[in-house]
Amino acid sequence: MFLFIKSFYLLLISNYFLMHPIHVSVTNLEFQSENNTISLSFKVFTDDFQLLVNQLYDVQVDLSENGNYELHKEKIDFYFQEHFKIIFKGKELKFTNEGIKRNDEAVWFFYNIVTKKEVKTFVIKNSLMLDLYPDQKNLLILKKGKLEKGYQFNIKNKEYTINADEY
């Protein structure tokens, strides 16, 4: 009997970790200085993001190829604008939706920011998915020209001040 209980417990724990062992997002931020544009792309696990939108906004978002993304695009854009902020000279930069790309387990959301001036020193606040998972890690890959640098955001570290002249 003890062996059965122990086996059942191990099976239960292993299924929990097999479902989704890590909670991570990836954000690519690329400066295009020739036209003062910043390209943003967010990669999140589809099932996690659908659950998050359901819990925050009480809507069922289906991000599959034939899903209802267009119906909830405004809420999704609002979420990214609220949980990923680029602050330049005290003002939040607003970004516009450029579409999505789906793959097996994740979805990419693409955005653009057009600025009047070249953005040099700025603050990034990233709290993506932290409402859902306290162990969430948000990776940021910043690219300017041929140089790249990575940053990690989490529940304890949600903000970085970045000087793009260092690239």
Locate 143 and state its tokens: 């690219």
Which tops the pLDDT comparison, 104 or 129? 129
Quote the number of domains for the chain: 1
Is residue 52 one of the residues assigned to a domain?
yes
Is residue 7 one of the residues assigned to a domain?
no
Check pLDDT > 90 for residue 164: no
Question: What is the pTM for the complete model shown?
Answer: 0.85
Is residue 18 one of the residues assigned to a domain?
no
Check pLDDT > 70 for residue 20: no
pLDDT average, residue stretch 71-83: 96
Is residue 149 one of the residues assigned to a domain?
yes
What's the domain range around 158?
23-166
Is residue 147 one of the residues assigned to a domain?
yes
pLDDT band at 113 (very low <50, low <70, confident <90, very high): very high
The answer to whether the CB of 80 falls within 8 A of the CB of 111 is yes
Is residue 1 one of the residues assigned to a domain?
no
